């Protein structure tokens, strides 16, 4: 009898727990409401898109390719682009104060009427990555306009941004706009190789002047669709931070010799084993900071049962992390990543390499540092035969995380929703590096976003072949900058 009563009590307790659990899940799901701003109508300005596309086309013809080795850079192309800018945007050229920093870095200043208001800073870069001509539908520096697109290296990254900023300034000047808040615009010329001679020098000048900005805006993330499960509308991803960047060089040395009498492990084998250890001991995932904010914004826009799952991350956290780590894009948003990228051994197939080297690239999530990552790598490899040292390239810790409650983010959010009312907005971390890293300390509010629509295979155009932007999307970019500056400085 006692056993029967105990069994009944256990059943009742389990049932009560299930009811309580179901109630909590239901309440959290019901109160997991949209964070999207309501907009009345789409904002659009009377822009001559054909002429704007023609000016972008002209900018794409300049082969402004940057390189770690300055002797490999054709700086006449940068000089040509800057001369083209001055002629294409005469009102901007005559209205703004212009400073040239380190020969090719450009800084424009449009003074506002209220000196008590902190200025804002807009960023873009003039340089592009190399573009082999094979495989392109239109040659990479042709600037061809065809099928409703402007084609060429830099259309997306980042001359589209640079030229749309200038289209904005020219439009506002012609329209009689008088900014209350000063507007600074900075164009670096070596972002693709770390920005040390362009953005870093411009930022250094601004720091010397003691200028603090209300907010800073640059490239970084974009509008995409189909990348986040169960979210049907396009998503405008606004990066409120950027991952750190570190490459470590692994070195193994031995006596070398003939491959006919190999040791148990060659230097290549030693490094291969070390890399295998790293790839089998990935950094832990962290659903905090921008990663948590991303799904606070997107979770309410998801279809059921995804909405229920993300509304109750306290319960379904392990399930969510398992799903996110299955995709390279979302996996990179929630952990420090490990990417072996370079390997070098012997120059001949029958010679044991006396020295082998490998380079492993890490993209650091906020909370990790270059020092902590290096220490973890030493611990995981745990092999005195492997020397671990920084690779001779640019490196940086993750940036601070900018607030989504700040005025600068709220204005950006409103601007995106009014220019592109079909999208939903969500904060995220930038997976790639930007010039923003050099401007840390000049503002607590740094945001990395361009309203470029990159869906599916379009993502392959970034540093890939057939880079192009639709004329319609380019118009959205110009409208975005006009509205953003109108709100920030009106």
From the candidates 127, 157, 197, 301, which is the catalytic residue? 127
> How far, in whole angstroms, is CA 143 from its chain's centroid?
25
Number of residues that this document lists for the chain: 490
Task: Give the pLDDT score at 301.
Answer: 95
∠ CA 481-486-489, rounded to 5°: 115
Q: Tell me phi and psi for residue 22, to 5 degrees.
A: -65, -40
The span from the CA of 289 to the CA of 366, in Å, is: 8
End-to-end CA distance of the chain: 80
The Cβ of residue 21 has, within 10 Å, a number of other Cβ atoms equal to 12
d(CA 146, CA 139): 12
Say what the pLDDT of residue 112 is: 98
Q: How many CA atoms lie within 13 A of 99 on its CB side?
A: 14
The catalytic residue among 191, 301, 368, 467 is: 191
**Within 13 Å, how many C-alpha atoms sit on residue 232's CB side?**
3
Task: Quote the pLDDT of residue 73.
Answer: 98
pLDDT of residue 348: 92
pLDDT at position 329 is 83
Tell me what pLDDT residue 4 has: 65
Q: Between vectors from CA 373 to CA 369 and to CA 376, what angle results, nearest 5°? A: 140
- What is the 3-state composition of the chain as percent helix, strand, coil, each rounded to the nearest 5? 40, 20, 40
Output the pLDDT for position 258. 86
> Could you tell me if residue 463 is left (phi over 0), alpha (psi between -120 and 50 degrees) or otherwise beta?
left
347-360 pLDDT per residue, tens: 999 999 999 999 99
Options 3.40.718.10, 3.40.630.10, 2.60.40.10, 3.40.50.2300; CATH for 49-241+398-489 is 3.40.630.10
Domains 49-241+398-489 and 243-390 share a fold: no
The CATH class, in words, for 243-390 is alpha beta
Answer yes or no: 97 catalytic: no
Contact status, residue 476 vs residue 451, Cβ threshold 8 Å: yes
Instruction: Convert the pLDDT of each residue in 220-230 to its tens digit.
Output: 999 999 887 78
- To the query of whether residue 127 is one of the catalytic residues in this protein, the response is yes
Which residues make beta-bridge pairs with 146?
149
Tell the residue number behind the tokens 């907009």, with chain if given.
39
Asked whether 433 and 242 are in contact (CB, 8 A), the reply is yes
Secondary structure (DSSP) of 99-140: EEETTTEEEEEE--S-TTSPPEEEEEE--B----STT-SS-T
The residues spanned by each domain of the chain are 49-241+398-489, 243-390
Dist CA 397 CA 9 (whole Å)? 56
Nearest CA-CA partner of 399 in 365, 376, 426, 355: 365
Supply the pLDDT for residue 3. 66
**70, two tokens:** 């300055």
Which segments of the chain have a pLDDT < 50? none
């Amino acid at each position: 009898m006692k056993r029967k009563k105990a069994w009944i009590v256990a059943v009742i307790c389990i049932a009560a727990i299930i009811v309580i659990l179901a109630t909590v899940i239901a309440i959290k799901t019901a109160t997991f409401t949209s964070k999207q701003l309501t907009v009345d109508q789409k904002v659009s300005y009377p822009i001559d898109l054909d002429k704007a596309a023609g000016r972008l086309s002209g900018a794409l013809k300049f082969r402004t390719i940057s390189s770690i080795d300055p002797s490999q850079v054709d700086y006449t192309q940068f000089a040509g682009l800057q001369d083209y800018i001055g002629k294409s945007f005469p009102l901007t050229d005559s209205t703004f104060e212009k400073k040239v920093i380190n020969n090719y870095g450009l800084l424009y200043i449009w003074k506002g009427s209220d000196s008590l208001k902190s200025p804002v800073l807009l960023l873009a870069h003039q340089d592009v990555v190399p573009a082999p001509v094979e495989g392109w539908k239109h040659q990479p520096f042709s600037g061809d306009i065809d099928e409703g697109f402007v084609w060429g290296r830099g259309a997306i990254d980042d001359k589209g941004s640079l030229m749309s900023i200038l289209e904005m300034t020219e439009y506002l000047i012609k329209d009689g706009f008088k900014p209350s808040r000063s507007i600074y615009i900075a164009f670096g010329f070596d972002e693709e190789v770390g920005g040390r001679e362009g953005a870093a020098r411009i930022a250094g000048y601004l720091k010397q002047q003691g200028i603090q900005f209300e907010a800073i805006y640059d490239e970084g993330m974009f509008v995409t669709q189909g990348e986040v499960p169960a979210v049907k509308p396009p998503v405008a991803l606004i990066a409120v931070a950027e991952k750190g960047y570190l490459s470590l060089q692994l070195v193994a040395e031995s006596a070398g010799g003939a491959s006919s009498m190999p040791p148990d492990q060659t230097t290549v084998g030693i490094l291969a084993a070390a890399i295998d250890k790293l790839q089998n001991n990935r950094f832990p995932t962290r659903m905090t900071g921008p990663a948590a904010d991303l799904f606070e914004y997107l979770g309410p826009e998801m279809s059921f049962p995804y909405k229920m799952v993300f509304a109750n991350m306290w319960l379904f956290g392990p399930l969510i992390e398992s799903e996110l780590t299955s995709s390279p894009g979302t996996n990179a948003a929630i952990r420090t990543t490990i990417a072996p990228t370079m390997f070098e051994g012997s120059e001949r197939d029958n010679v044991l390499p006396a020295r082998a080297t490998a380079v492993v690239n890490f993209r650091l999530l906020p909370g990790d540092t270059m020092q902590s990552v290096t220490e973890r790598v030493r611990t995981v490899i745990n092999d005195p035969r492997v020397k671990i040292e920084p690779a001779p390239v640019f490196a940086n810790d993750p940036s601070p995380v900018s607030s989504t409650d700040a005025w600068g983010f709220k204005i950006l959010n409103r601007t995106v929703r009014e220019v592109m009312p079909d999208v939903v907005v969500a904060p995220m971390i930038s997976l790639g590096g930007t010039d923003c890293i050099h401007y840390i300390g000049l503002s607590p509010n740094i945001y990395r976003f361009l309203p470029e629509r990159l869906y599916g295979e379009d993502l392959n155009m970034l540093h890939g072949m057939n880079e192009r932007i639709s004329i319609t999307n380019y118009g959205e970019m110009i409208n975005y900058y006009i509205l953003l500056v109108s709100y920030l400085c009106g």
